[in-house]
Amino acid sequence: MGVRLLLDTHIIVWAASDAARLEPRVAALLTDTRNELWMSAVSAWELAMLAERGRLDLRPDADRWIAAAVAGLGLREAPLTSAIALESRRLTLPTQDPADRFIAATARVHECSLVTADAALRRISGVRVVFCRRPKLRP
């Protein structure tokens, strides 16, 4: 039996565009068809915002890139609900980043393991985290 995995925004980018950046054990989890891969609606917002600011190149545009990533990775979208909004305020996190709070709360509410390389999200009370070490950059 598989597990539910909520992919943090950068994990979605890596998995969809540069899977070599993923640790082999994380890549194996994401390709195991027994596991359900989830995406927070907040990740779509975050991706669009990063593209608007020129920090991420999503071609041909954010809408189509996200749709292709969702289809290609087989992501299930976790809608933003009032339960998630309220849970985001109950979490104890070392960051006040609203995207991090909503994504972590989404993992908790939907009983998903959060797949992230964000050290600030490595240990969250009440949320299972699959930590993906950041890859070493190639020279």
Q: Return the domain boundaries, the chain.
A: 4-131
Report the C-alpha gap between 16 and 83 in whole angstroms. 29
Lowest mean pLDDT among 17-21, 58-62, 85-89, 112-116: 17-21
Report the C-alpha gap between 64 and 66 in whole angstroms. 5
pLDDT, tens digit, 9 for 90 and up, residues 54-94: 999 999 999 999 999 999 999 999 999 999 999 999 999 98
What CATH number was assigned to the domain covering residues 4-131? 3.40.50.1010
Tokens of 62: 């954010």
DSSP H helix total and E strand total for the chain: 6, 5
Q: How far does Cα 121 stand from its chain's mean position?
A: 11
Tell me the whole-structure pTM to 2 decimals: 0.94
